[in-house]
Structure 1
Amino acid sequence: MPTPRPLALALIAALVASLASPASLAAKKKPAPKKATVSPACTDFYAEANKGWLAANPMPSAGAISALGQLTARAQQQQRDLLDGAMGSPQNNVQKLLGDFWASGLDEAAVEQDGAAPVAPLLKRIDSIRKAKDVAPAIAALHQVGIPVAFGFNADVDLRDLDRHLGYFTQGGLGLPDPAYYTRTDADTQALVARYADYIRKILALTGVAQKDIETQTALVLDLEKRIAAAARPLVDLRDPRNNFAPVATAGLGKQYKNLQLDAFLKVQGVNDDTVSLANPAMFAQLDALVGSLKPEEWQAYLRWRVGDAMAPYLAKSWRNAAFDFRGKVLLGQAEPAPRWQQVLDAINLAAGPMLGREYAAKHLSDASRKQAELIAGQVRDALVQNLGRGGLFGDAARAEAQKKLERLRIEIGTPRRDLDYSVQPMGRGSFGGNMLIASTWRHREEMKRIGRGNADRRWDVLPQQPALAYDLAHNRLIVTAAMLQAPVLDEAMPPDNQYGAFGALVGHELSHAIDDRGRHVDAKGDVRDWWGAGETAAWGTLSGKVATLYGALPYPGLTGAKVNGQLTRDEDIADLAGLELAHAALLAAHPDGGAQADKAFYTGWAQLWAQQVTADEAQIRAQQDVRAPGPVRANAPAMQQAAFGAAFACKIGTPMQPKAEDRVIVFP
């Protein structure tokens, strides 16, 4: 959508039809030319639909603000209010756990008094290491409480059978985010590693290491991490999930990695599956050799450091300051720590997020909102099924497969279908760090339960209290969190037509991924295979080219002379176009007599999703990196492709919001 520009006024007021004498003409005033009036909605619909929001939310001094960002902030405040209530008057056992957890984190005096007490039992366990065979049990015990050391181990989808989760042994155990940092020799990296070493020194001192031993133990930590990093794969090689997938039988792990004792490790985690994924056997062979060859003192130094680093944000101020000075300031570029309440809320979401999600949904998700969301989502899915035959995108075989896939689609609203086991050690109010370990142990236990056949849909990878609406490709389901069902997406106070334009179009956006260039790789049965043919590939390539050209010609809001990178945003742009088309088709099917007023509400609902104020510096970053078009473009570009928009707002062909029919790009014409 072009940015607002002066109208080319070509209409000139006509003179009086009757001829007049030169004298009389000289005596009369010429009438002032009349300007053609064009509705603001036909010039820049985004600006017109959001004028109230834009007036109420001026440009920030840095970064950006947006309507969807405000939704996220509102959800956080709702969580905060819920925890305040649970702290003062818990209504059930889960609220009692959460209330105590919250209270312990907000009581900074108690956190200071607690000092390093929460990690003392873990450090004592590490101090008890005397020989090589003691190292592996200590590694397993730390994983069990949610502190992964030496390597990673988590639950993820089995790429051979998407209806189950496998345990994945992965590389990890490093304090720096990229293994390459440990081998680079440029000045910037060397300076970063020097800052990192200083952070290690501070944490080791806080764990009780004598000052005379700090330098020696810091060197031991860095030496072991460098050895681990040397066997790790570059991060770019890990972007493709298939590179991390290598199923192996668990039966032979104990013999193959005798020092790591991976068979015993799995038992400690509560995993009894017959298969795991281990994609980098060379790294695990290296780790196994290091357990057997390095002195126990080096492993003790490393494990003390990893425990201190992991727990530092939840302990006394000296620990938190040390962590923030490196991880916040150096790695993330943050100027100041988040407010205390935000830090505590983030910790609770990390360690006990599903508990909070259960209570959040019970309080903030009404049956009416859930039913309305299910209704609209189902109607949008039906619209997609009916439109698959349009536009020449799919031949008969691919269309049949897509229809089967959509018919089997599950729509999950609010919370996951399966609940968790909330039995957990009681939390008091005197030890925030202790509560963090209790909750992390519970979360890890529940995550490990995902591993095994038939458990893939046990829960989501997003929490109900976090605004999200997404298509889960692996399990062919639409996920809508409880926090997403509020303004500007779907609110009971919003007119139904408005809901279709906002929530319905977002649903359509996500469901289009079930059958697009990503969805083509998982069929209706959930098997990983490409169910497209050459015809679908060619048709989608043509559509992609048109969309990239359309968006690539549009100015980037807030940047002089810059255009949208249509190649970068193309896939999400297609989903936006398809989503608005499908939602409008669903609206017409549900309310065929709505007319122009219904359409006005529909398109307004869509445009108001994308209200934003973005500074020039932030816009520059987004223009280069963001795979989604900027808000004004997301609002206008899909709407201007639809004749129904022009009819609703009486926009004439040729106005900015109503191009000629032959210039429009439509996914399902």
Structure 2
Amino acid sequence: MKRSLICAAVLTLVAGYTCSTASFAQTPRTVAAAIVAQASPLASGIDMQNADTAVRPQDDFYSYVNGNWLKKTEIPADKSSWGAFYELRENSLNQLHTIVDAVSAEKNITPGSNQQKIADLYASYMDEPALETLGIKPLDAEFAKVDALKDKKQIPGLIAHLNSIGVNAPYDIGIHQDAKDSSKVIADLGQSGLGLPDRDYYLKADDAKLKDTLAKYRAHIETMLALSGDKAAKKNAASIVALETELAKVQWTKVENRDPVKTYNRVELAQLQALAPHYEWDGYLSGAGLKDKVTYLVVSQPSYIKGFDKILAKTPLPVWKAYFKWHVLSSFASDLSKQYVDQNFAFKGTVLRGVPENEPRWKRGINVVEASVGEGLGQLYVQQFFPPENKARMEKLVANLIAAYNHSIDGLDWMGADTKKQAQKKLSTLMLKIGYPDKWRDYSSLAIKRDDLVGNVIRAREFEFKRNIDKLGKPVDRTEWGMTPQTVNAYYNPEFNEIVFPAAILQPPFFNANADDAVNYGGIGAVIGHEISHGFDDQGSQYDEIGNLRDWWTKEDHEKFAVKTKALVAQYSAYSPVPGYKVNGELTLGENIADNSGLAIAYKAYHLSLDGKTPPVIDGLSGDQRLYLGWAQVWRGKVRDAQAIVYVKTDPHSPPRFRGNGTLGNQPGFYSAFDVKPGDKMYLPPEQRVLMW
């Protein structure tokens, strides 16, 4: 189900001060060298053990803060990336493992309870001998549904079923708030159906790496089909890739899909046939449970649906059947016997993301539980791992961030007076969700069996699909969360005008309850500021205070903002994480705006929190220095080249190094905190700095 979430992550956080007599003018390199020699934890919350003091902070701040970590840290064999986010995720997984093991060891669990579902689902995943015995049999019923196709007119009904069980199909359906009427819930039809991360993998014939990945994808399909008993695996694999290539040709780019106005296309049900004349829409609407619940759909990419209709007409039914069976197999391969799991990982893990080893089975099992009964697991998580005082301190920090935005709006050079009034109104109605939801999801209708892994996964996906379909025709529930409390991430939802911070991200280095405020403003403060800014960036600014897609800016405001964003696009488009692959400044624009805005607001909020007082020097570091060091340590990370290419093609966030360094060059406070001058590599002339807030 699609959600209008704008996330913070890649995608996709002491009592008592130890004050120093060092002056604010002491050079950071000297300070760092002294700190590295200390063995005790730092009251500053800055881990300078990770620093490379041979690097001048004025030349490469990211390497200065994280250089030693970058040198000594290897990406774990079962990961495509590693860094602060991933370390927290690993910590969260271990915490969840403790919970699941404890639940699994309980005697006399109440049947139908969340604990029973968690224990039995996990047990069904961990029972490898049973899965080896079953082989491909768990998918027999789904394959039979595909084999039963006798005519293309039956394809819409099959796609409705595949949508309901989370299997890739040429389009999918999302249930969410109507962007033109925030009081309603609507169904949104969007392009889908590719087995590779982006259309470029099929269409960039001049890119050797992408061309090689496409060839390996075809070989992977052939191997998987052959394992499943397909006697024409080679022929079918070639046909499937050819079909997906045709779909890729008519799909919209990631940049095009960032435009909420262009992707809002209301189509009355009676008009669907004109959009796709060869398609039996009644079969889809009935199968998906939509027919009696909606009078119109929002079609995100109308030209794609027209193109799909033509592809449907010219592609023989046997090719479609091979395509659907392949995506059924691919969707559930990780839940089958070892030969399917291994081959699935060999492509999706190693070829696509460069990961040499699969995760231990227990981690994959926890992920299945999270995907199926996530809030049930989250309820147990917050009871053990999220103290109430963390939430209270976060609320105070957020209040200062909102106050900083309030002050900043009045001084913006790219907003006129009328727009500023609207911006203040939107800021005043911003909804804040921290830690966990006020009401928990009810999983009582979800059946989980201890000896039926694939059946469990299918029923969990169907449960979620039906839960969303059932929202149609009912009032919008603004209390709902789009992430579980154990998720290491955060988001802004423009349709609800809300920011959401799950409990799991509220940990070091993002939020350190035992550290001075400066590092927390540089870490979680900047991330919260990042999320709030999404309400005023090139996408979020198109939604008003109640979530309606309404342009509340003047033409002059748009023009002034466009000048700034054009400069930001150019700035980030110059960065290259892998030789030959540059950051897409247009795709990453919203997140780059948010990074720059969030850090600027965090700096202002920190100074507001001081209430005119001079912050203490801690471990030889001034308050401003601790803030910027806190920012840079949050983004420490390493990414395998194959995964970096996937990110460049698909991820709206810039790579870690450029989030850490690129943002700082635009921050006036950074120059004074670290005495950055002309000639230093981090220096940007004032006229080249993009000041958003």
1:39 is matched with 26
Query: Is 2:68 the counterpart of 1:52?
Result: no
Shift of 1:400: 0.8
- For the Cα contact (< 8 Å) 2:577–2:655, is it kept in 1? no
1:347 is matched with 368
Among 349, 365, 368, which residue is 2:386 paired with? 365
1:467 is matched with 488
1:607 is matched with 629
Among 110, 115, 118, which residue is 2:138 paired with? 118
1:12 is matched with none
Query: Is 2:399 the counterpart of 1:386?
Result: no
Aligned partner letter, 1:515: F
Post-superposition Cα deviations, 1:219-259, rounded to whole Å, max 9, x if no partner, equal 35644664565355444545323554432223565898797
Is the partner of 2:221 in helix, strand or coil?
A: helix
Aligned partner letter, 1:262: W
Query: Is 2:167 the counterpart of 1:147?
Result: yes
Shift of 1:442: 1.7
Alignment CA distance shift 1:108-1:508 (3 Å): same
Higher relative CO (Cα under 8 Å, sequence separation at least 6) belongs to: 2
Query: Is 2:106 the counterpart of 1:83?
Result: no
Matches within 5 A, 1:577-596: 578-592=597-611, 594-596=613-615
2:235 is matched with 219
Shift of 1:286: 3.3
Is the partner of 1:492 in helix, strand or coil?
A: coil
2:306 is matched with 282
Among 226, 244, 250, which residue is 2:269 paired with? 250
Among 118, 134, 137, which residue is 1:98 paired with? 118
Aligned partner letter, 1:88: A
**5+ residue gaps, structure 2:** 1-22, 36-45, 53-67, 649-653
Whole-Å Cα distance in 1 between the matches of residues 151 and 215 of structure 2? 31
- For the Cα contact (< 8 Å) 2:32–2:51, is it kept in 1? no
Aligned partner letter, 1:407: S
The more displaced of 65-74 and 99-108 is 65-74
The more displaced of 325-334 and 95-104 is 325-334
Query: Is 2:669 the counterpart of 1:641?
Result: yes
Shift of 1:654: 10
Among 232, 243, 246, which residue is 1:230 paired with? 246
Matches within 5 A, 1:557-596: 575-576=594-595, 578-592=597-611, 594-596=613-615
Aligned partner letter, 1:335: P
Whole-Å Cα distance in 2 between the matches of residues 187 and 547 of structure 1? 26
Is the partner of 1:389 in helix, strand or coil?
A: helix
Among 282, 285, 293, which residue is 1:266 paired with? 285
Shift of 1:385: 1.1
Same amino acid, percent of matched pairs? 23
Shift of 1:75: 2.1
Matches within 5 A, 1:280-359: 280-286=304-310, 289=313, 294=316, 299-359=320-380
- For the Cα contact (< 8 Å) 2:188–2:297, is it kept in 1? yes
Query: Is 2:183 the counterpart of 1:166?
Result: no
- For the Cα contact (< 8 Å) 1:557–1:630, is it kept in 2? no
1:478 is matched with 499
Alignment CA distance shift 1:431-1:567 (3 Å): closer
Shift of 1:411: 0.9
Whole-Å Cα distance in 2 between the matches of residues 517 and 462 of structure 1? 24
Post-superposition Cα deviations, 1:315-346, rounded to whole Å, max 9, x if no partner, equal 00111123233333333333332322333333
- For the Cα contact (< 8 Å) 1:468–1:481, is it kept in 2? yes
Alignment CA distance shift 1:537-1:128 (3 Å): closer
Among 591, 597, 600, which residue is 2:616 paired with? 597
Aligned partner letter, 1:338: E
Shift of 1:410: 0.9
Shift of 1:307: 1.7
Aligned-CA RMSD value: 4.9
Shift of 1:397: 1.0
**5+ residue gaps, structure 1:** 1-35
1:506 is matched with 527
1:240 is matched with 256
Whole-Å Cα distance in 2 between the matches of residues 237 and 548 of structure 1? 17
- For the Cα contact (< 8 Å) 2:160–2:284, is it kept in 1? yes
1:422 is matched with 443
1:488 is matched with 509
Is the partner of 1:98 in helix, strand or coil?
A: helix
- For the Cα contact (< 8 Å) 1:111–1:430, is it kept in 2? no
Post-superposition Cα deviations, 1:545-566, rounded to whole Å, max 9, x if no partner, equal 898999999xx9999xxx9999
Post-superposition Cα deviations, 1:117-155, rounded to whole Å, max 9, x if no partner, equal 321222333344455555544443333222243433333
Is the partner of 2:129 in helix, strand or coil?
A: helix
Shift of 1:377: 1.2
Aligned partner letter, 1:230: E
1:13 is matched with none
Whole-Å Cα distance in 2 between the matches of residues 384 and 363 of structure 1? 34
Whole-Å Cα distance in 1 between the matches of residues 529 and 614 of structure 2? 21
2:60 is matched with none
Post-superposition Cα deviations, 1:371-408, rounded to whole Å, max 9, x if no partner, equal 32223212311221123222544331121111111011
Is the partner of 2:485 in helix, strand or coil?
A: coil
Matches within 5 A, 1:515-534: 515-533=536-554
Whole-Å Cα distance in 1 between the matches of residues 677 and 275 of structure 2? 72
- For the Cα contact (< 8 Å) 1:557–1:632, is it kept in 2? no
- For the Cα contact (< 8 Å) 2:434–2:503, is it kept in 1? yes
Among 70, 74, 90, which residue is 2:91 paired with? 74
Aligned partner letter, 2:48: K
The more displaced of 173-182 and 327-336 is 173-182
Is the partner of 1:309 in helix, strand or coil?
A: helix
Whole-Å Cα distance in 1 between the matches of residues 323 and 640 of structure 2? 41
Is the partner of 1:427 in helix, strand or coil?
A: coil
Aligned partner letter, 1:40: T
**TM-score normalised to structure 2 length:** 0.73
The more displaced of 274-283 and 181-190 is 181-190
Whole-Å Cα distance in 2 between the matches of residues 471 and 595 of structure 1? 33
Shift of 1:537: 4.7
The more displaced of 62-71 and 565-574 is 565-574
Whole-Å Cα distance in 1 between the matches of residues 24 and 373 of structure 2? 58
Alignment CA distance shift 1:149-1:472 (3 Å): closer
Shift of 1:104: 2.0
2:432 is matched with 411
Whole-Å Cα distance in 2 between the matches of residues 100 and 526 of structure 1? 40
Whole-Å Cα distance in 1 between the matches of residues 151 and 663 of structure 2? 64
Whole-Å Cα distance in 1 between the matches of residues 236 and 416 of structure 2? 62
Shift of 1:311: 1.2
Is the partner of 1:596 in helix, strand or coil?
A: coil
Whole-Å Cα distance in 2 between the matches of residues 357 and 610 of structure 1? 29
1:10 is matched with none
**TM-score normalised to structure 1 length:** 0.76
Shift of 1:366: 2.7
- For the Cα contact (< 8 Å) 1:94–1:355, is it kept in 2? yes
Whole-Å Cα distance in 2 between the matches of residues 45 and 161 of structure 1? 54
Post-superposition Cα deviations, 1:587-631, rounded to whole Å, max 9, x if no partner, equal 454452642218945752552342266679979979x96366547
Alignment CA distance shift 1:118-1:254 (3 Å): farther
Is the partner of 2:169 in helix, strand or coil?
A: coil
Structure of larger gyration radius:
1
The more displaced of 477-486 and 340-349 is 340-349
- For the Cα contact (< 8 Å) 1:523–1:531, is it kept in 2? yes
Shift of 1:638: 7.0
Shift of 1:450: 4.8
